[in-house]
A = this chain, B = another copy of it.
């Protein structure tokens, strides 16, 4: 491996309403999600950012979580058709974690669905062009819906001090926003949607800025009010999310995987009560059960480099799975991998070996997932 490469800049890789502030705060690394910059490093180690996230509050520019807006007479019908989750009892104001699958039950994305009205939804998406999927489906079916990507850029406020910071800026009503629900706050006369959610296991909120021109004001207001709570810039923390068992589309799963392999059984209606793309395929898989599932794997040795491609996981001299994301767990003081493991080897306590890129085979064991003992 060469040294860490730079990111080439172009308009195609979109800046966000917050990029200017993120740059001023010394961003040193990005990932790209949905053709958009996602800050990933600010000059402190991931460990320092981890401990800070668990104690204070961070602002995350997660504008890359683009919204796919589905609106119109057939909106509810299209959204239900796109997901195995039973949405018949979904309420306005609710956020719902859903999977989107294709006709083979392969995962297309795993967005958060925001139900804005009976005929109006946002899908807050992971890294794939769900907009094109939804547009293609609705056009092909002749559904009476409008599908678009509105000017909405989420800003996440994450950490145990998130609530006091949000209250200071938006008033006490933010306390009434329940987990995986959203409400509306006032920002200098502009109403903004705010959900209690985020890509961490700490408390937190996501502010759906729907007017890019207010981005710097919004950032500055939170930043100034956050000084007394030791606010810092942050980003979805790899160590925290892996310890917390949060999946990442494109890392843990791709179109080659179905939701049952991702332990998302709870979000799949497997009887015939709702109709959705891939239902037959998913029912067939459920009959016999998936042949592999995501598990935790704890393994020995020094911290590894990042997992840039799946690493083979071996047992009894053959490959029984692959790692998808690997971190140095600060709770376990050991290497911790999310890994896709074959059914015959996924039981807790199973001995395995991880083949890391240095050519070493490192001994480890399968752990339950998520790691409830952390």
Contact = CB atoms under 8 A, between A and B. Distances in A.
Nearest to A142: B140
Nearest to A10: B251
Contact of A129 (B132, B140, B251, B309): B132
A132 to B, nearest CB: 4
Contact of A9 (B24, B103, B308): B308
A1 interface: yes
A319 interface: no
Contacts of A127: 12, 35
Interface stretch (A25-33, A188-196, A214-222, A342-350): A25-33
Contacts of A40: 8
A41 interface: yes
Contact of A30 (B5, B138, B142): B5
A41 B24 CA distance: 25
Contacts of A289: none
A374 interface: no
Interface string A1-30: 110111111111111000000011011111
A135 B133 contact: yes
B32 A5 contact: no
A134 to B, nearest CB: 7
B250 A11 contact: yes
Given A129-B128, A137-B140, A325 B7 contact: no
Contact of A306 (B10, B38, B251): B10
Given A5-B28, A7-B30, A10-B31, A128 B137 contact: no
Q: Counting chain B CB atoms within 10 Å of each CB, which of A12, A40, A103 scores highest?
A: A12
B12 A250 contact: yes
A132 B32 CA distance: 19
A11 B127 CA distance: 12
A353 interface: no
A11 B135 CA distance: 28
A158 interface: no
Given A2-B23, A140-B141, A308 B135 contact: no
Contact of A132 (B1, B15, B136, B306): B136
A130 interface: yes
Given A139-B137, A140-B137, A277-B139, A324 B11 contact: yes
A237 B70 CA distance: 39
Nearest to A126: B12
Contact of A11 (B102, B103, B142, B310): B310
17 contacts: A2-B27, A5-B7, A5-B29, A5-B41, A10-B248, A10-B250, A11-B309, A11-B310, A12-B31, A13-B31, A35-B128, A108-B132, A128-B132, A129-B133, A133-B135, A135-B136, A137-B137
